[in-house]
Structure 1
């Protein structure tokens, strides 16, 4: 026997031991009537089902989005949808173990097919529910021994209670799948695409064709459930292509955390600062891609990662003009535009990003940021605050007045009438300056969350783009204003504004 096979058998045995040790205390103390009542309760209540049969998974309380998804899959016999959940939200556990078991519990049988990038990977994933039927003491107590010695191969197995599990790798034929008269009732596609496959667009197209032309025709009957659980971490992936081709398929999007407040979506599992610490370790863009499926962009047609110049910002008294532009957003919801405040300084012909605020918040938070910056400045320093007049209304003015009064600050925001096309404006003001090395970023902002958000928005500027553009829009306005103050004939260091010291890492 190969060493790899021995390790795999050992791992499976350890998994069985863990499951056996996690038996419910109710096994030996329930009366037959209580057992029947609790089984019926588990059929209706998936949260209780998890607590009863899978206490070894229930280290944290089931989240509302878990329960919502499970109910939706069970209710619709022809359900087709994507579990677009961030990393760490238990996609595989729910779609490979809990939901297939819950379907079997309610419907009396289930032919479940798990498809992954390879059959070996699919077999390893399918082992989780196979081990439950083999060793779970509560399942055995409620429904009897399930291991069927004559039909217990790791790639295709049948329980005594009518559950069939089968593992397939990408490319393996689904045509004609059946065990006796039974045909698949439920498919889950798990980790079909990885960081190694996303670089191959042709491979992605083949995955889409495989699902459309091979998998879907194999579903024949009253039950045709298909779920797809894969991280959406890249801008081009088969799941994105598939969802675009089938807009009627349900997409259940769940981000792991709020990128502004860092509040976890699965509060019973993750602590308040968990994702904030992840951002520090991984980098903001990588964390957003893995946990919030905000694809990490490295640049496109107009703006590329290599254009970004990081450097030690000059002393502030070397800047001729410093301006902060606020791109106003009203809603402050997770899908709304960003309130973007970008502070830029002009030094001779160069532009430096010195600080910024890029968040999906209410307007008051952006105004508080501006007030905190202004309060930290010495009297000799002036920032010229600006905003576009088209966004100005009574609610904006009221918000500014309230925050200014609370903070004891007067911002004196100047309104800029702007009627230019946004895409054309961003290209006109920014593209050539990035390409010619006229734009710099203060190196102290490298790990700054809002700076990284702004860069991701910049990289997404393409023809017919659909990404957020609030930060590059504010940059274009600020740099357009600063460019009017360029005086090539003046020697470096002569300026009309006297400014003071940069006080701290990310603020003035």
Structure 2
């Protein structure tokens, strides 16, 4: 932090402190001492945590820390924290879920007033960032008149800008960067009994595995071993933005512990319903998703740390204008269907095969109802038939899936007055290995051409997102890569591999050369 930035932060702190003092004083409620004591005891029960937060910091308070009532997960996560004094809780909550303000202010204050916290440590990715985290806590402890009325004057010594302060009831709070030492920290008889490791994950640093391992060892060793004998809560508020980073390291170290708790909260469920429904609507979810590119949205809002082109590179995708007069050796259509409208995508790849080379001619990749997908299927069959091309079509189906989908296909064929119904196709081999092996081959070796007309279509946009974000173990949609792999593999089975691939493996058959005896 530069000197100018530090000065700005100090001025902002002074202004914010004055506002909180004035506004919270004006919102004090009139009550006698018995009523006040009863209210405080009620708010300090762990099952009433979000009422505690709302009363002192929430939407009912002038200059609040929140713009909506608390979420269900704010309550349930804290109840676990309160119940287990040695908890290691990973709060993999989406960006904008109020994970920092609840962890560093709400949880801290509720624990403190229940005598469950005497020495709190806020850890940021660096010292300056940690001090900013500490400033939110000090501002309310020092100037929130609602809080002061119920629990007395708070701050006795120190300032967030120095990285630490003490309170009148003998509690200490300090701020440190992840790169600063944790060993030997003590305040009188107390060692650290609460730590918030806030937003310490960094995508760039995570690529340095040596540094990542050092940070993980520091957290799981230096920090945890510095905890109090009878209490030591470690909360990690950080959404899951990178694989093999600090979060994965902490999880690996503590996953077998009975005190480990991993709480994943995404922006919405698969059907677009907001997780924090008290604050967001389905329309809000659509707007948020539309403002961010797919890969950033998956990392920041859905705890799915995918990287564009992690396995399949964008420059591997070969676009060409496919001649209308091209006569194919055969054509395959393959469907990957889903049971729900807003769950997985319904995806289809129509692939033409010529001399073993693949041509992606048409694409369907939508979250839609089954009839919409089937209507598109039969309209495509008619269109290709007019061009003199007969398509051999399949759909991905186990025996159970075939029992569900076959009646729908038959009904659609009767409705469309078209006799050709896709054949069920199912393979039991590992899906991710199939996709990686087959598509790496055809993409890298330029054996799959994508018709140029698809490039700017909505279906191809979604299909290409799934291709470029695909990697083993991903939680991202992989319906299109799956159906494309099936189409390519079936195309090779029925209509052969490319000539260039056959040269090295094709056996030579001929007459044996003999020597004539004289």
Q: Scaled by the length of structure 2, what TM-score is found? A: 0.81
Deviation at 1:164, TM superposition (A): 2.0
Shift of 1:231: 2.2
C-alpha displacement at 1:192, in angstroms? 1.4
Work out whether residues 198 and 236 of structure 2, in 8 Å CA contact, stay in contact via their aligned partners in 1. Answer: yes
Aligned counterpart, 1:34: 35
Residues 402-441 of structure 1 aligned to structure 2 (within 5 Å): 404=412, 412-416=421-425, 418=427, 422=431, 425-441=434-450
Matched residue SS, 1:23: helix
Moved more, 418-427 or 205-214: 418-427
Q: What's the offset of the Cα at 1:18?
A: 4.0
Deviations 1:429-451 (A, max 9, x none): 32221012233453224786742
- Specify which of 221, 245, 250 is matched with residue 261 of structure 2: 250
Q: Hey, what's the Cα distance between the residues in 1 that align with 2:164 and 2:498?
A: 76
Structure-2 change in CA distance of 1:50 and 1:370 (3 Å): same
Alignment gaps of 5+ in structure 2: 59-63, 386-390, 500-518
In the aligned structure 1, how far is the partner of 2:27 from the partner of 2:497? 82
Contact in 2 for aligned 1:457/1:471 (Cα 8 Å) = no
Question: Partner residue of 2:74?
Answer: 66
Q: Secondary structure at the match of 1:104?
A: helix
* Post-superposition CA distance 1:144-174 (Å, at most 9, x none): 2212146776411111134321101113222
Q: Which moved more, 1:437-446 or 1:59-68?
A: 437-446
Partners of 2:349 and 2:362 within 8 A in 1: yes
| Aligned-partner Cα distance in 1 for 2:181–2:498 | 69
Q: By how many angstroms is 1:60 displaced?
A: 0.9
Q: Could you tell me whether the CA contact under 8 Å between 1:308 and 1:440 is conserved in 2?
A: yes
Deviation (angstroms), 1:419: 5.6
1:9 aligns with 2:3: no
Aligned partner of 2:87 among 46, 68, 79:
79
Partner of 2:128: 120
* Cα deviation digits, residues 49-75 of structure 1 (max 9, x gap): 112100312311111111110111111
Task: Report SS of the residue matched to 2:268.
Answer: coil
Matched, 1:239 2:247: yes
Compared with structure 1, are the counterparts of its residues 353 and 250 closer, same or farther at alpha carbon in structure 2 (3 Å cutoff)? farther
Q: Which moved more, 1:426-435 or 1:388-397?
A: 388-397
How far apart are residue 138 of structure 1 and its match?
A: 0.5
Q: Per-residue deviation at 1:327? A: 3.4
Deviation at 1:31, TM superposition (A): 2.2
CA RMSD of aligned residues (A): 3.4
CA distance in structure 2 between the aligned counterparts of 1:61 and 1:294, rounded to whole angstroms: 27
The separation in 1 between residues aligned to 2:87 and 2:429, in whole angstroms, is 46
Post-superposition Cα deviations, 1:9-49, rounded to whole Å, max 9, x if no partner, equal 11112321342354276614222222112211211211211
Quick check: 1:155 aligned with 2:167? Answer: no
* Total equivalences in the alignment: 474
Tell me, in whole angstroms, the C-alpha distance in 1 between the residues paired with 2:415 and 2:18.
61
Please state if 1:269 is matched with 2:284.
Answer: no
| Residue pairs, 1:332-411, within 5 angstroms | 338=344, 340-346=346-352, 348=354, 349-352=357-360, 354-357=362-365, 367-374=370-377, 377=380, 379-381=382-384, 384-393=392-401, 395-397=403-405, 400=408, 404=412
Contact 1:341–1:366 (8 Å) recurs in 2: no
Matches within 5 A, 1:68-217: 68-107=76-115, 109-149=117-157, 154-217=162-225
Alpha-carbon separation, structure 2, partners of 1:59 and 1:190: 21
Q: Radius of gyration: which is bigger?
A: 2
SS in 1 for 2:172: strand
The match for 2:55 is 52
Shift in Å at residue 406 of structure 1?
A: 11
Distance 1:391 1:328 in 2: 14
How far 1:387 moved relative to its partner? 2.0
CA distance in 2, matches of 1:137, 1:449: 53
Distance of 1:406 and 1:86 partners within structure 2: 46
1:417-496 aligned at under 5 Å gives the runs: 418=427, 422=431, 425-441=434-450, 442-445=454-457, 450-452=462-464, 454-456=466-468, 458=470, 460-461=471-472, 470-483=479-492, 484-485=494-495
In structure 2, the CA distance between the partners of 1:482 and 1:402, relative to structure 1 (3 Å rule), is closer
Moved more, 339-348 or 114-123: 339-348
Checking the alignment, whether the CA contact within 8 Å between 2:85 and 2:231 is kept in structure 1 is yes
Compared CA separation, residues 120 and 486, structure 1 to 2 (3 A): same
The equivalent residue for 2:507 is none
Shift of 1:322: 5.4
The answer for unaligned runs of 5 or more in structure 1 is 360-364, 490-508
Is the alpha carbon distance of 1:452 and 1:8 closer, same or farther for their aligned partners in structure 2, counting shifts above 3 Å? same
Partners in 1 of 2:93 and 2:312 — Cα distance? 29
Cα offset, 1:369, TM superposition: 4.0
Q: Confirm whether residue 324 of structure 1 aligns to residue 333 of structure 2.
A: yes
Indicate the SS of the match to 2:250: helix
When residues 139 and 299 of structure 1 are mapped into structure 2, their CA distance, relative to the original with a 3 A threshold, is: same
Cα distance 1:23–1:316, how it changes in 2: closer, same or farther (>3 A)?
A: farther
From the superposition, tell whether residues 402 and 222 of structure 1 become closer, same or farther in structure 2 (CA, over 3 Å).
Answer: farther
Partner of 1:504: none
Q: Which residue of 2 aligns with 1:296?
A: 306
Q: Is the 8 A contact 1:113 1:186 kept in 2?
A: yes
Deviation at 1:379, TM superposition (A): 3.8
Query: Comparing 117-126 with 377-386, which one deviates more in the overlay?
Result: 377-386
Query: 1:242 and 1:406 mapped to 2: Cα distance?
Result: 57
Residues 352, 361 of structure 2: 8 Å contact kept: no
Structure 1 residue 420: deviation in Å? Answer: 5.3
Shift of the 22–220 alpha-carbon distance from structure 1 to 2, 3 Å rule, reads: same
